[in-house]
Structure 1
């Protein structure tokens, strides 16, 4: 099987010659230059023989054009951060209008997508990372959105609709560029932040508009549920064919998720450090500090929990940029070893 065939089979729950694998991380030393980012991503995927490329624009790309001041370091493990939000009072939402999403920061990510696709030469499926409109609003304003959605829901929804239209413009431009799908990330669909009723009103309504813009146009569409205590059942019902979440430290487990949905599951790798009940770090991420044997066992545990069909091995979210090469190769060996044993 080539990588396209392997991914398509996994998405359909069919037999694969080996379970697909990918690890994604931010490349914060180069992610402000589209060409450098594209070259780095393709080289990374080729080096470790990953099965697809998840485009990794910096996480604040969707709000810079709306006035958020971003502090950029251009250093490994120092991703850009918010220096000043773009929304400071509720009336500021009035100026949020749809953008064409082909200029500015959005335009840079579109350039990176085009160049990545050109360099990949149809060797890898390429999916673009996009954020839910409510997530973008949160990045624009911070947690004050909890106050704004209550104080003036009409105005806040007007802004959400504008952000939705901007995201759809970006989606359509990426489809024209040739992406094979989208990694749709929501950082707000968790019970620690909103009730399910609130998310359905301020999140799902807009999420579905974005997904509808590409669900029939692309074949590899992932929904990513970010954070703890997530609304898994709600997101699993979205019209996508793959679900990604922090399965190693947040509910449900892979085995539990298999009973909830028949969609392809993307996960199995714990990408975060380990903390005790007091919030103290007791161990680095397994991928960072684990032995080769531990990493291989980690993958085997995931496959045993989820089964070998309808599964793509990957992290629950972005991995650390300091991952040792030996552990990345260990991931590759693990999936090939399982395939050899199955054969």
Structure 2
């Protein structure tokens, strides 16, 4: 088979076509530079070249959406310590009613938009897809208030609906500007489609309703749209049915496994690497780990990636081992 470009390889995997090799990417937080979108773009491009990644999953700091609504964060700006929540934004249930839609270029959203524009500028026409990270509106609300969001959801649902509508509009404003900046798609992460926090009926009302509004704003425009299902006790089938063409979850340590998921969804799967284990593994173990994943999932409709962000302590040799492992599989 002729050698494919990175974009061709990604599109073939999305469409469950044959590939010259299984597409590969990794991602992890880059806290030493993630407050400077110009430098963050430089580092992410350097990583893409260093590890020969097939796409760039953009790595804004995880609280950027909530930061613009008053979440206070501690920025360490070191290689070993990601951003931490310092003080939640919501102290009283009525404060949910004070949230208003923001323009997509405001504050920390604006920095992440600049990241997309910088990737477009610095790649200089290089054909490597890059996808922007966005969060479900309920996930952003949880980042704003912590677990009390679920208490407020049940005691004053009307307040939370008002807040979620504002967050949704802000997210859509941000999405539209990223499309103009040339993103291939979006990595839509939900941390709340999880039975630890809500019932299925509650997620239908406070999650799915707003998730779909966001996804519908780009699903027919961008070609590489990923749903990331975060956590242990997830509502996999519910999120897997979203109008995204790729699914990413902790497949090596959370149900369903790749073979089980193939019976549930015909979408392209991103995964196969246990992101927690990777930091402690030996390079020869990594190669076998990847081989097992590809055998379990099949070569088509698969991109080898972590199930979530890789640990900051992961040695570079293990990323190289993972990349070389996909050759010939």
State the TM bucket, normalised to the shorter chain: over 0.9
Alpha-carbon RMSD = 0.8
Q: Which residue of 1 aligns with 2:279?
A: 288
Decide whether the 8 Å contact of 1:77 with 1:320 is kept in 2: no
Extract unaligned runs of 5+ from structure 1. Answer: 273-284, 339-343
Q: Which residue of 1 aligns with 2:133?
A: 129
Q: Which residue of 2 aligns with 1:170?
A: 174
Stretch deviating more after TM superposition (161-170 or 314-323): 314-323
Distance 2:104 2:233 in 1: 32
**Counterparts in 2 of 1:97-246, with a 5 A limit?**
97-120=100-123, 121-246=125-250
C-alpha deviation, 1:147, in angstroms:
1.0
Distance 1:288 1:148 in 2: 38
1:182-208, Cα deviation, whole Å (9 max, x unpaired): 000000001111111110110000000
1:106-158, Cα deviation, whole Å (9 max, x unpaired): 10111111101222233210100000000000001111111111111111101
1:2 pairs with 2:5:
yes
Q: Which residue of 1 aligns with 2:31?
A: 28
C-alpha deviation, 1:337, in angstroms:
2.9
Moved over 6 A (4+): none
Decide whether the 8 Å contact of 1:38 with 1:116 is kept in 2: yes
1:244-279, Cα deviation, whole Å (9 max, x unpaired): 00001100001100111100000000001xxxxxxx
Q: Which residue of 1 aligns with 2:81?
A: 78
C-alpha deviation, 1:77, in angstroms:
2.4
SS in 2 for 1:336: coil
**Counterparts in 2 of 1:44-63, with a 5 A limit?**
44-63=47-66
C-alpha deviation, 1:27, in angstroms:
0.3
Q: Which residue of 1 aligns with 2:321?
A: 330
Distance 2:324 2:222 in 1: 30
- Equivalent of residue 71 in structure 2, options 51, 64, 68: 68
C-alpha deviation, 1:6, in angstroms:
0.3
Distance 1:187 1:138 in 2: 9
C-alpha deviation, 1:332, in angstroms:
1.4
C-alpha deviation, 1:172, in angstroms:
0.3
Distance 1:328 1:86 in 2: 37
Between Structure 1 and Structure 2, how many residues are aligned? 325
Distance 2:54 2:316 in 1: 17
C-alpha deviation, 1:291, in angstroms:
1.4
Distance 1:137 1:103 in 2: 18
Q: Which residue of 2 aligns with 1:313?
A: 304
Stretch deviating more after TM superposition (287-296 or 307-316): 287-296
Distance 2:317 2:82 in 1: 24
Distance 2:142 2:20 in 1: 41
Distance 1:290 1:140 in 2: 35
C-alpha deviation, 1:289, in angstroms:
2.1
C-alpha deviation, 1:78, in angstroms:
0.8
